Structure 1
Amino acid sequence: MMQAAATVIARDLRKVFPAPGGGQVEAVGGISLRVGEGRLTALVGPDGAGKTTFLRMLAGLLPADGGQLQVLGFDVARQPQQVQDRISYMPQRFGLYEDLSVQENLDLYADLHGVPMDERRARFERLLQMTDLAAFKARPAGKLSGGMKQKLGLACTLVRSPQLLLLDEPSVGVDPLSRRELWKIIQQLVQEEHLSVLVSTAYMDEAERCEHIFVLHQGQLLAEGDPASLAAKARGLTWSVVPPAHMQARDLQAQLIDDSAHVLDAVPRAGAVRFILQPGASPADIAAALHGVAPVERPAELEDAFMMLLRAQETQAPLPVAAVAATKLAGDDAPVIVVRDLVRRFGDFTAVASTTFDVHRGEIFGLLGPNGAGKTTTFRMLCGLLPASSGHLEVAGLNLRTARAQARARIGYVSQKFALYANLTVRENLEFFGGAYGLGGAQLRQRVADSISRFDLQAQARSGELPAGYKQRLAMAVGLLHAPEILFLDEPTSGIDPLARRAFWRTITGLAQQGVTIIVTTHFMEEAEYCDRIAIQDAGELLALGTPQQVREQAGGEGIDMNAAFIGIVEKGRAQRSAGAAGRAA
């Protein structure tokens, strides 16, 4: 059988970087692979796998330290300009000019790439139509939602017609609706323009859309193949179980994932717990953890095989549960967060419109919504970082209008971008934030030492040089240092691979069991399954509020997952708003 033409050929490719404590780290360690022409190909792997380094080497932005690399038939080391003239590369932080309009950004990138004037009109029209940005040509990029910014970034990357498109985690921080639209554009490019696309992603459902997948780990190629052949590696080991009536899915998942001798992985999904048995184990081996409920064998998926491959390489213990001040008392049902008719306006724009809900002690409460829905504004008001325009907001028994500083002393906060000081070491970050929380002396030294030990951190490593998963650990350690009663998590797993997400949520489950109240925003809809209750917002309005099961029922589907429920609820809300607006206009 004749081998298909290749856009990328790597032979024993190597790249090393200086290690933070001296020595070297091999980011890409002797990789050999071929990327087929005219197809959609994925790079997947945990943090530090080498995905971004590999893409930057393909783009001619990083020189190799060994091996050979050909892109579109050119030797990247000797002919980098010929490669760069024929490819387009969208890094994780694509450089939009936020003060320029959508059209002005397109014009600027067309100028930078030397796109002839006679080609621009047709190209721009097609890109604006594909991205649904035609109605927003005059809007400044800084005023677009996160999903719209990503689509504009992709359009700017494509102002010229490349032969190869490189995308580095293009949907990180993007809601499910925007992710779906982004991938529709990418697949359309492959089908209609026969474009070769190589994309790195932390989402296994995105990788399943690709024809071929490369699995990387610590600079090594672990496996490759199409989604079906990779999923087959987990065949016969994948099961699903519905928790007994008295038990939450996340608690059953925690028990299963702790039994590493028999269970390789477990995750809540659509009211059940999906788990993977260790090779050689059977459901009978975990009968006690299943509480008498019989599991059902299910078809293996790509994520199952991915988790198997990673677990075979490393045994990442769950993050330990830090000591906390909160204690969940029997019968203690008084809400610790009370929100009544909460409104926030920015000039004439209403970001949050008359929102009402309660959150109880020890509850995990999810605040979900598309980019630009108002959830970040709500979140910032709950944290005391932004005053409400009107309404009543109470946190830990304190009115945020009159006692914001006192309330903030009783909460922990982990932001989406991990508000750490990059030039400070792990220890220095902990000491600085501990002091800001009012800790000092022997108590601060003890808390810092405990955090470094519990979260398996290197005290002298600079936080800016840590892999994303360890930055997340440090951010969690900082947020928990003063033993808060309430922990706010703003998209804490954005861009984090499934292995790190499992460990993170195992920690959160343990904190909730101790009585810590957790408020979390996330774009990973599978994480909504860990929540006791969730609220879905869009355009500042509350569209749904209830348990994951109640929200799935509201979406009208039996057995649907939270991703489908979220999309269904948001689309229905938007249709109703459009119909209402049309009625008022008539």
Structure 2
Amino acid sequence: MNQSTVACEALRKVFVGPDGKPFDAVHDLSFSLRSGTITALVGPDGAGKTTLMRMITGLLKPDGGTLRVLGIDVAADPQAVQNRISYMPQRFGLYEDLSVQENLNLYADLHGVPQDLRAERFKRMLDMTDMARFTDRAAGNLSGGMKQKLGLACTLVRVPDLLLLDEPSVGVDPLSRRDLWQIIEQLIESDGLSVLVSTAYMDEAGRCDEVLVMDHGRLLAQDKPAAITAKAHGLSYVVSPPPGTPARDLQARLIDAPDRVVDAVPRGGAVRFIRQPDSPVQALDNLLQGQSAEPREEELEDAFMLLLRQHDGGGKGQAAPETAKPDVRVEVDAQASGDENVIHVRDLVRRFGDFTAVANTSFDVRRGEIFGLLGPNGAGKTTTFRMLCGLLPATSGTLEVAGVNLRSARAEARRRIGYVAQKFSLYANLSVRENLEFFGGAYGLRRHELKQRVQAILDQFGLDPAATSGALPHGYKQRLAMAAGLVHEPEILFLDEPTSGIDPIARRAFWRTITSLSQSGVTVIVTTHFMEEAEYCDRIAIQDAGHMLALGTPQDVREQAGGDSIGDMNQAFIAIVEQGRAHQAGEKTAA
């Protein structure tokens, strides 16, 4: 019988909320983890996952119950635990001015790694992460995926008895996620490492030996992935939308009926959904618009969503928690351009010195379209995105947004666009109303019009005008950022990885809002690392090394990647990027 690496009984942690009232971040938690296994910790924002991890590391002291890590009472002797574990938090502390090798040296010093072991350990970590070529590069100049791999290497410069990873793959592309998991699985196989990893990706949780599902500080389930997945048996279906109807529109109809539908997502041009256990599929006829629903094999994410909905609202979960109301509308002024295209890009180039970040990129975006801009970390998509927003000038090429040439009239174009940054970028010390008034004024709204629009957007997004912005929960910060980007009723909304780091429930609710905006005529440009979100888009573009590799509908992209052999957008993305890199390598060899 395997020894437990972590064992807790009636574990509790209490915090005081912004309103001054105490709440249980972790409530009456009891479980144990087997040695030599990898366990996934999943749950929505605010479930208590990071709090639990910080208690396991000894960085937070429990307020009740018992917690033993590697057989040690962590509350009584946290240092003894910390000497034997490694912990990679969500924001790992790389020193960006130091090189890759200097970061490794620093963490080896901090962990007390003997000098005679360092050369072998560094070589192993650099080989595993494929970073031996970059030892002299400053950490601040690495892509997001490379930073995560360096963070993991620094965490593992010593061999721990237990490795704790808090959402290590947030903000990285599918290729980098795959590389990270290959490293983790290799260490488990070679060193017998015990791992606890929190993740927002259900496919990652499905690769683990066991899964813990948390919500509001409570443990909803602990079992093998297959056993948890079986909870959704007989409840999962797939349906094609009526001809001419985007899959996201049918998905929106289903997700707006939480009394009958647990969850719905677009996938492969169709919609996958889970019915409520007490609601037969025949009861959905009016929602399915005459289309026939076919049973499908359940997935881990189906069971995860079912557990959360049952825990939050007695099985009748809310249609759109933690985001705007689903009927958000924006009145679009269509006079900006006389034709269908609101974004026109031809031969766009951006250089930074001798480095070409974007090379000869061309595409158009139609009014009311949802357009996805995808690519690996460091591919040039963020540079393209910033040029489209008017935040970065192009080196050469044609770039028109809302009928305005961005190279000559950026200020005029900016009044017609809204922008939501990946990281919360509003004023944390201002109230919700003050932030909306400030940004409305910056976009040119004045007096009565400003007051009217701020009140309308407060009502639409269900925001408390007096709340301090910086004290809002993550989901409400996202809601406020979206409201600020829409307060002036822009024709085009730019979203830079808006769902990075948020859970599946919040992602569903977010995309329900985007569908509503698109239906009202707003054009949406979005970057994302969640490839399943590409299914919500009318068209997607995939870039790598500054070059356009694919442009078309999600179905077009899947066919380009390999047709029927491609199961989902993650596989399509990886296949297209690898095809593009092989082609570029072949051209270099031929030259």
TM range (shorter): over 0.9
Q: Per-residue deviation at 1:328?
A: 7.2
- Aligned equivalent of 1:426: 432
- Aligned equivalent of 1:311: 309
Counterpart among 572, 575, 578 of residue 571 in structure 1: 578
Counterpart among 239, 242, 253 of residue 240 in structure 2: 242
**Residues 1:373 and 2:379 aligned together:** yes
Counterpart among 263, 266, 269 of residue 264 in structure 2: 266
- Aligned equivalent of 1:296: 294
Asked if structure 2 preserves the Cα contact closer than 8 Å seen for 1:266 and 1:275, the reply is yes
- Aligned equivalent of 1:204: 202
Asked if structure 2 preserves the Cα contact closer than 8 Å seen for 1:328 and 1:514, the reply is no
Counterpart among 390, 394, 406 of residue 396 in structure 2: 390
3-state DSSP of counterpart to 1:289 = coil
- Aligned equivalent of 1:483: 489
Q: Per-residue deviation at 1:447?
A: 2.5
Kindly provide the amino acid, as one letter, of the partner of residue 580 in structure 2: G
Deviates more, 1:525-534 or 1:12-21: 12-21
How far apart, in 1, do the equivalents of 2:390 and 2:83 lie? 49
How far apart, in 2, do the equivalents of 1:19 and 1:303 lie? 30
How far apart, in 2, do the equivalents of 1:457 and 1:14 lie? 31
Deviates more, 1:297-306 or 1:464-473: 464-473
3-state DSSP of counterpart to 2:109 = helix
> Within 5 A, what are the aligned runs for 1:138-537?
138-314=136-312, 315-318=317-320, 319-320=324-325, 321-326=327-332, 334-537=340-543
1:487-540 residue CA offsets vs partner (Å, 9 max, x unmatched): 000000001100000010000001001000000000000100000000000000
* Structure 1: 5+ residue stretches without partners: none
* Structure 2: 5+ residue stretches without partners: none
3-state DSSP of counterpart to 1:290 = coil
Q: Per-residue deviation at 1:316?
A: 3.0
- Aligned equivalent of 1:131: 129
How far apart, in 1, do the equivalents of 2:184 and 2:460 lie? 42
1:281-306 residue CA offsets vs partner (Å, 9 max, x unmatched): 22221123323322211111110011
How far apart, in 2, do the equivalents of 1:323 and 1:439 lie? 18
3-state DSSP of counterpart to 1:542 = strand
1:559-584 residue CA offsets vs partner (Å, 9 max, x unmatched): 62111111000000000111111111
3-state DSSP of counterpart to 2:263 = strand
3-state DSSP of counterpart to 2:65 = strand
How far apart, in 1, do the equivalents of 2:262 and 2:590 lie? 55
Q: Per-residue deviation at 1:435?
A: 2.0
3-state DSSP of counterpart to 2:211 = strand
User: Are the structure 2 counterparts of residues 332 and 400 from structure 1 closer, same or farther at C-alpha, using a change threshold of 3 Å?
Assistant: closer
**Residues 1:560 and 2:567 aligned together:** yes
Asked if structure 2 preserves the Cα contact closer than 8 Å seen for 1:11 and 1:69, the reply is yes
How far apart, in 2, do the equivalents of 1:458 and 1:47 lie? 20
How far apart, in 2, do the equivalents of 1:59 and 1:274 lie? 39
- Aligned equivalent of 2:63: 65
Q: Per-residue deviation at 1:333?
A: 5.3
1:172-231 residue CA offsets vs partner (Å, 9 max, x unmatched): 000000000001111111111110100011111111011111111111111111111101
Kindly provide the amino acid, as one letter, of the partner of residue 56 in structure 2: L
Asked if structure 2 preserves the Cα contact closer than 8 Å seen for 1:20 and 1:461, the reply is no
User: Are the structure 2 counterparts of residues 333 and 295 from structure 1 closer, same or farther at C-alpha, using a change threshold of 3 Å?
Assistant: farther
How far apart, in 1, do the equivalents of 2:31 and 2:468 lie? 34
Asked if structure 2 preserves the Cα contact closer than 8 Å seen for 1:528 and 1:548, the reply is yes
How far apart, in 2, do the equivalents of 1:428 and 1:81 lie? 45
User: Are the structure 2 counterparts of residues 219 and 402 from structure 1 closer, same or farther at C-alpha, using a change threshold of 3 Å?
Assistant: same
Asked if structure 2 preserves the Cα contact closer than 8 Å seen for 1:239 and 1:298, the reply is yes
How far apart, in 2, do the equivalents of 1:403 and 1:420 lie? 25
1:233-285 residue CA offsets vs partner (Å, 9 max, x unmatched): 11000001122332211111111112223211100112211000011222221
**Residues 1:56 and 2:54 aligned together:** yes
Asked if structure 1 preserves the Cα contact closer than 8 Å seen for 2:258 and 2:318, the reply is no
Q: Per-residue deviation at 1:25?
A: 2.3
**Residues 1:538 and 2:544 aligned together:** yes
Asked if structure 2 preserves the Cα contact closer than 8 Å seen for 1:327 and 1:514, the reply is no
Percent identity, please: 68
Asked if structure 2 preserves the Cα contact closer than 8 Å seen for 1:322 and 1:480, the reply is no
3-state DSSP of counterpart to 1:324 = coil
3-state DSSP of counterpart to 2:515 = helix
Asked if structure 2 preserves the Cα contact closer than 8 Å seen for 1:362 and 1:512, the reply is yes
TM-score normalised by length of structure 2: 0.96
Deviates more, 1:458-467 or 1:298-307: 458-467
Q: Per-residue deviation at 1:327?
A: 6.0
Kindly provide the amino acid, as one letter, of the partner of residue 439 in structure 1: L
How far apart, in 1, do the equivalents of 2:521 and 2:116 lie? 64
Query: What is the CA RMSD across the aligned residues, in angstroms?
Result: 1.5
Aligned length: 581
3-state DSSP of counterpart to 2:286 = helix
**Residues 1:23 and 2:30 aligned together:** no
How far apart, in 1, do the equivalents of 2:576 and 2:71 lie? 48
User: Are the structure 2 counterparts of residues 283 and 333 from structure 1 closer, same or farther at C-alpha, using a change threshold of 3 Å?
Assistant: farther
How far apart, in 2, do the equivalents of 1:360 and 1:141 lie? 39
Q: Per-residue deviation at 1:311?
A: 1.2
Counterpart among 38, 42, 48 of residue 40 in structure 2: 42
Asked if structure 2 preserves the Cα contact closer than 8 Å seen for 1:175 and 1:370, the reply is yes
Q: Per-residue deviation at 1:322?
A: 3.2
Kindly provide the amino acid, as one letter, of the partner of residue 436 in structure 2: L
How far apart, in 1, do the equivalents of 2:370 and 2:519 lie? 10
How far apart, in 1, do the equivalents of 2:590 and 2:103 lie? 36
How far apart, in 1, do the equivalents of 2:203 and 2:302 lie? 11
Q: Per-residue deviation at 1:439?
A: 2.2
Deviates more, 1:502-511 or 1:17-26: 17-26
How far apart, in 2, do the equivalents of 1:111 and 1:247 lie? 59
